[in-house]
Structure 1
Amino acid sequence: MTITSTDETNAQTLPYSHELDWPEGLTPWTVIDETGVQGEPYAHFTWMRENHPVLRVAHPQEDVYFVSRYADVRKGMRAAKIYRNQVNDEVPFAFPTLMDGSAHMKIRKVVAAGFTPKAIGMVADRVRDVATEVVDAFSAQGGGEVTEALNRPLTMATISGILGVPYKDVEQFDSWTESVWAWFARVSRMAPGLPGDEEVSQDLFDYLGGILEDLYRQESEAVGGHIARAWVSDGTLTRQQAIELCVFVFIAGFDTTTRLMGGSYLVFRDNPNLLDRLNERPEDSEKFVEELVRFRGPVHKAPRRLAESVEVAGATIPAGSVVRLLLASANRDEAHWGPTAGVFDIDRDTEGHFGFGHGVHQCLGSPLARLEARIMFELLASRIDGVDFDSAHDLALLKGNSLTNGVERLTVKVNARRR
C-alpha cells in the first residue's frame, strides 16, 4: 500500500527514543542492546506503556516501532495479513518464524508431524533421567553455574532426542548453532552477528545433510526423520530447506528453554517459599511454569513488517514499517493482568500470555518446553530448599540480541534439602 502524506506526517511527528526525556536510571531504548543496559527491561516497558505505547527508535538500516501494551500486541499478533512475519524481501532461511501464508503453513506442517504427543512422550524418560543426574550432582556440590551444569545438558539431550541428532555430537552442535543464530540475527533481525558466522554455519549444514540421509534410511519417527521424508520422498522441501529447518528446531528447542529455566533462580531467590510449595505439591510445577513463562519468558519481541498503515494507541505507523511487538511488556501490562502484573504469583490465571507466541505462530515446541521445565523444577524442589547469589558478581544477562532476553550466566549457592 502506498503511504499517504498523512501517514508520513504522523510518523515524522513521533519523537525518537533518544529525543525523549527518560526518567532517571533508564537510558533511551535501542533496537540492539549492545551494552547490556536493557538486560532487565521491565522498568523500560512500564514507562513505555504509560508514556509512549508506540515508541519510534532510530536504527542505521531503518526506523523500528515498538508496541508495548497488551491489547495492541494481541491485535498485532492476530492480524497476520497486516503484521507480516516476513520482514525481509526474501526469506534468508527456511525458518517458520520468517514466513507467512502458505509457505509458513507448509513448513509448520512438516515440523508438527514430528511434535506429536506420542513423540514427546517417548522422550519423557530421557528428560527425567538427565534432569535427575544433573540436579543430584548440583545439589550435592552446593550449587554452581546453572546454565552449564543444569539447563544446557538437559535441553541439549532432550532436543537431540526428539530431533534425532546423536547426543555424542551435541557439544560440537552447540558451538555451530551459536554461529548460525548470530548469522540469522545479522541478516534478518538487525543484530551485529559474529566474525565468520556464515562460514562456520556451512560446517553445520554439511553435517546435518548426512544426519538427514541417515534418518531417512532408518525410517526414523524423530522430527528429523519427518523433515528428511519431506525432502527425499515428498519433495516438499529442498535439501537446503530441510537442513535449515533442522537448525531452527534445534536452536528453538534448546536456546529459549535454557533461558526460561535460567530465570527461575531469580524467582526462587525472591520467593523462597516456592521451593517448599513445589516440594510439598509437585503438581503445582505446571502452574509455576506457566507463570514463569508470563513473568520471565525469554522471547521478548516479535518482529513484523506492516502490509498497510495502522493506527496504534493514537499513532499512525506507516505501511512498510518494521514493528516489534513487545511480548514481554504485554505479559506485564497492568491494564490486562491487574495491579500485581509485576509480581510473580503462582496462583495467577495465566490464560492469554504470549510466552509461547499466539495465533498462527504459536510455538509448536511448547509442550516439550513445558515438559522439560516441569520435570526440572519438580526435581530441584525435592533436592534443595534455598537459592542465593550476588547479582553484581554472579549474574550476567544476555546482551546484543534483538529478540530474546534472559540469563546468560548465573552462579548460585543452594541448600540441599534433608531427605
Structure 2
Amino acid sequence: MAIRTVDDATPSPVAPPKACPVSRIGAEFNPFHGAQLEDPYPFYARARREEPVFYSPVTRLWYVTRYDDIVAVLRDPARFSSAQSVDLPLDFTPETREAIRTSYLSRCSLIDNDPPSHTQIRRMVNKAFAARRIADLEARVRAIAADLIDRFAARGHADLVEELAFPLPMRVILSVLGAPEGDLGQLKRWSDDWMTLVAVQLTPERQREVVGRLLESERYWTSLIEERRARPRDDLLSDLVEASQEEQPPVPLLQLVNVCAVLVLAGHETTMNLLGLCVHRLLREPDALRLVGEDPANIPGAVEETLRADTSVHALMRTTTAPVEVGGVKLPKGAQLALLFASANHDEAHFQDGARFDLRREDATRHLAFGHGVHFCVGAPLARLEVRVALELLIERLPGLRLVPDQEITYVVNPIHRGLKALQIAWDARGDEGARLALRA
C-alpha cells in the first residue's frame, strides 16, 4: 500500500460540488458506531433502493453500493485509479509527509496501483507464489492450526480471535515468507500501525510515533531482503528477491519492502477477520452448523457464503481520473469512491434473498469479497485453505461447539475491514489427554 500526500501527482480527492447537497442517505451514514457498525446490511439495502451512489460528509467519500456499478468501476482502471484504494482523505504534517515520501510507505503495492506498474509487481508476486504451490501448504497449515487448538482444547472455552483466528494466518504467512516466528508480535504491531496511519486521523504527536515505528519495519525488511540476496533459502522471500531481479528494470528495494509488508498485513488481517466472522455466523445458524458437522464437504460452502454474507474486506477505494458517471450520478475528476463490496454481495439483482445465510447457495462464489479483474486477490487460495482447515479441526476436535452466552459482540472500527474484536466460544471439553490426541490420529 502507498500512502499519498497532498504533494503527490495522483488525483486528489475532492468534496462534492457545493450545488449538490448531502442527501438523507449520506447524512445518516456513519459506519463507525451503533447499528451501522454492528449490522450495516439493512442500511446498505436501503441505499441500493433509494440512492445507490451517495456522498458521506463523515468520511468524505462517494459510496457505490450496487454490484453492477462496482464491477463496471473495477473493469475500468483507466478512469478509476487504484492509487488511493486504501487511503482515506487524511491530513498529515509536513514532517510526516516527508517521512512517507522517502520510505516504502510511498511505494505502490498490488492493492493500490495501476498498470503498467501494477502489472510488473503482480507478475513478480505471481512468479514467487508459483514456487510455493498452495496445495503443498495444506500440511503446514494443518500442523499450525492443530498446534494452536492443542493449547486450549482441554480447557473448554477460548477467545477464538486471540487464540486461533489471529495467530493462525500470521504464523502461516511468516512461515511461507521465511520470517522468524518469534517476530510475530512485532510484525503485527507494525501492520496495525500501517492500518492506523491510512484509516485514522492522528494528532501530530501520534503521527510522529506511528511513522517512527513504521520506519523500523523498513529497516527490518531491508535486512531480511539483503540476507536472502546473499544466502537464498527455500522460502517465499527468497523467491520474491529472485523474481524482483528478473524484472526489467529490476524492482527497487523499497518496492520489495512494501510488497513484503503488504503480504504480512493482507496475509493475516483479512483471513483473521474471515475466520472469526465464519465461526460466529455458523454458531448463530443451527442448520448451517449441523450441515458442516454432518459432512465436512459442506465446509467450503460455509467459507464462500461467509465471504458473501459478511464480507471481511468491506470496501476499497478508487479515484476518478476524469469526469465520469456512476449509477446515474455525475462525478468530477478526483472524486474518491468507496466500493462497498459488502453491499454488492447482498445485491438482490444478483443474490436471491441475499440477507439469508445459505451454505447451499449455488451463486455464492460470484461474490466480490476478493475483488474482481486485475486486482483479484492473489492470496485468495491461501485464505480459503486456512479457514477451511481451521473449521475442519474445530468441528472435529471441539464437540458441542457453541458461543458463550450473553457475551458482547464488538466489531473493529474500520471503514475498510470488518472483523470481530473477540469471540468467546465453548465446547464439551474432554480432560483425558490420550482421548483428545486420539481424535487427531
Alignment TM-score > 0.5, same fold: yes
CA shift at 1:331, angstroms?
A: 0.2
CA shift at 1:255, angstroms?
A: 0.5
Amino acid of the structure 2 residue aligned with 1:16? V
Aligned residue number for residue 327 of structure 1:
341
Moved more, 65-74 or 401-410: 401-410
Aligned residue number for residue 266 of structure 2:
252
CA contact (8 A) 1:185 1:402 kept: yes
Count of residues in Structure 1 that have an aligned counterpart in Structure 2: 396
Instruction: Select 1:105's aligned residue among 119, 126, 132.
Output: 119
CA contact (8 A) 1:275 1:381 kept: no
Distance 2:76 2:254 in 1: 30
Aligned residue number for residue 306 of structure 1:
320
CA contact (8 A) 2:278 2:302 kept: no
Aligned residue number for residue 281 of structure 1:
295
**Residues 155-177 of structure 1: CA distance to partner in whole angstroms, max 9, x if unpaired?**
11110111121112212221222
For 1:4-403, what aligned pairs fall within 5 Å after superposition? 11-12=17-18, 14-16=20-22, 20=24, 28-30=28-30, 33=32, 37-58=36-57, 63-87=60-84, 92-116=106-130, 118-185=132-199, 195=207, 196-231=209-244, 236-338=250-352, 340-349=353-362, 350-383=364-397, 384-390=399-405, 393-399=407-413, 401-403=414-416
1:184–1:223 Cα change, 3 Å: farther
CA shift at 1:34, angstroms?
A: 6.6
Q: Structure 1-normalised TM-score?
A: 0.86
1:21–1:120 Cα change, 3 Å: closer
Distance 2:25 2:305 in 1: 33
CA shift at 1:366, angstroms?
A: 0.4
Moved more, 211-220 or 34-43: 34-43
**Residues 197-235 of structure 1: CA distance to partner in whole angstroms, max 9, x if unpaired?**
110011111111111122233323432113323456655
CA contact (8 A) 2:410 2:421 kept: yes
Distance 2:229 2:186 in 1: 22
Distance 2:327 2:259 in 1: 37
Amino acid of the structure 2 residue aligned with 1:239? L
Amino acid of the structure 1 residue aligned with 2:181? Y
1:388–1:192 Cα change, 3 Å: farther
Aligned residue number for residue 3 of structure 1:
none
CA contact (8 A) 1:177 1:247 kept: yes
CA contact (8 A) 1:123 1:161 kept: no
1:184–1:218 Cα change, 3 Å: farther
Distance 1:184 1:312 in 2: 25
CA contact (8 A) 1:268 1:387 kept: no
Moved more, 76-85 or 379-388: 379-388
**Residues 397-417 of structure 1: CA distance to partner in whole angstroms, max 9, x if unpaired?**
011x23111212222223459
Moved more, 354-363 or 73-82: 73-82
CA contact (8 A) 2:190 2:217 kept: yes
Distance 1:374 1:191 in 2: 37
Q: Structure 2-normalised TM-score?
A: 0.82
CA contact (8 A) 1:275 1:386 kept: no
CA shift at 1:272, angstroms?
A: 2.2
CA contact (8 A) 1:397 1:406 kept: yes
CA contact (8 A) 1:157 1:167 kept: yes
Moved more, 303-312 or 250-259: 303-312
The percent of aligned pairs where both chains have the same amino acid is 27
Amino acid of the structure 2 residue aligned with 1:219? P
Distance 2:67 2:305 in 1: 16
Amino acid of the structure 1 residue aligned with 2:418? N
**Residues 26-52 of structure 1: CA distance to partner in whole angstroms, max 9, x if unpaired?**
x8214x727785243112211111111
CA shift at 1:12, angstroms?
A: 4.7
CA shift at 1:310, angstroms?
A: 2.4
